[in-house]
A = this chain, B = another copy of it.
Amino acid sequence: MNPMNETIHNQLSHRTIREFKDQKIPEEVFRQLIEVARRTATSTGMQASSVIRVTDQNIKNQIAEICHQEYVAKAPELLIFLVDQYRNYRIAGEKNFMAENARDMDRFFSAFTDACVMAQNLVNAAESLGLGTVYLGSILNESQRLCELLKLPELTFPVIGLGVGYPDQNLQLKPRMDMRLRVFENAYTVFDSYLDEISEYDEDMRTYYDLRETNQRTDSFSDQVVGRFKQSILKRRDILNSIRRQGFDLGVKE
């Protein structure tokens, strides 16, 4: 039998929560979430990620606009995780070392990774305390506008948003594809027919959408994949140009 404990029980019960009770998160709870974030693994100890805690309703509204999602404006806590090479660039500068390497894209990616793992560590702490969370990848719909809105200096960049609060909805667990399609041994496995491989999962998703209590519809995973690829937001695709505008050197051979 697979081993079980409270942490894993909560992880296996993960659902995205978009509706929150009108109830603030107590300050000592928030402080503990930030303390967990602080203790997260970080590349070479550099701690090159930061967080903007959005409390100003006007800014929340504008972020909801960027996300095209009204519920974002209502999240009791709204956090924006950042790549942050600016702080260490300044520290080095004050030690008389002009760290132009801070602009390199490998450092951007390691800070990006730091920000993501910090966000997920915080999510696990939040869920362990009965809070619900929603990741907001949609903050990157207009990354340049978000940089301006949050007054981000050079060498910083938004990575992911997170809404946190006490859940006001009770959702069924959404089916996920079998991990035999996602975990491979020693080398990537290419399958002959992906539609064959996911046929059972497609069926599970159809049943899930058909039977669920709210927002019933006919849908399958493979149809969703096509639908998602059809949606393309011009400003989103332009993300590397936004990153360059924030002072990073893409290092791309022309």
Q: Mark A123-140, 1 if CB is under 8 A from B, else 0.
A: 111001100010101001
A34 touches B179 (CB 8 A): yes
Q: Which of B8, B41, B187, B224 contacts A14 (CB 8 A)?
A: B41
| Nearest 10 interchain pairs by C-beta | A116-B116, A7-B128, A120-B120, A99-B229, A2-B32, A106-B236, A117-B120, A151-B187, A7-B7, A90-B194
A-B contact pairs, 15 of them (CB 8 A): A7-B125, A11-B36, A11-B39, A38-B179, A38-B182, A46-B228, A56-B186, A94-B193, A97-B230, A106-B236, A106-B237, A117-B117, A150-B187, A238-B251, A250-B250
List residues of A (1-52) whose CB comes within 8 Å of B's CBs.
Answer: 1-8, 10-14, 16, 28-29, 31-32, 34-41, 43-47, 49-52
A159 touches B (CB below 8 Å): yes
CB-defined contacts of A159 to chain B, threshold 8 Å: 113
CB-defined contacts of A16 to chain B, threshold 8 Å: 41
Q: Which of B7, B153, B194 contacts A94 (CB 8 A)?
A: B194
Shortest CB distance A44–B (Å): 6
Given known A-B contacts A104-B232, A224-B45, A6 and B7 have beta carbons under 8 A apart: yes
B87 touches A181 (CB 8 A): yes
Category for how many chain A residues contact B: 35 or more
Which B-chain residue is minimally distant from A27 (CB atoms)?
A: B2
A151 touches B188 (CB 8 A): yes
CB-defined contacts of A150 to chain B, threshold 8 Å: 186-188
List residues of A (153-202) whose CB comes within 8 Å of B's CBs.
Answer: 153, 156, 159-160, 173-174, 176-177, 179, 181-188, 190-191, 193-195, 198
CB-defined contacts of A54 to chain B, threshold 8 Å: 185-186
CB-defined contacts of A112 to chain B, threshold 8 Å: 109, 112-113, 116
Shortest CB distance A78–B (Å): 10
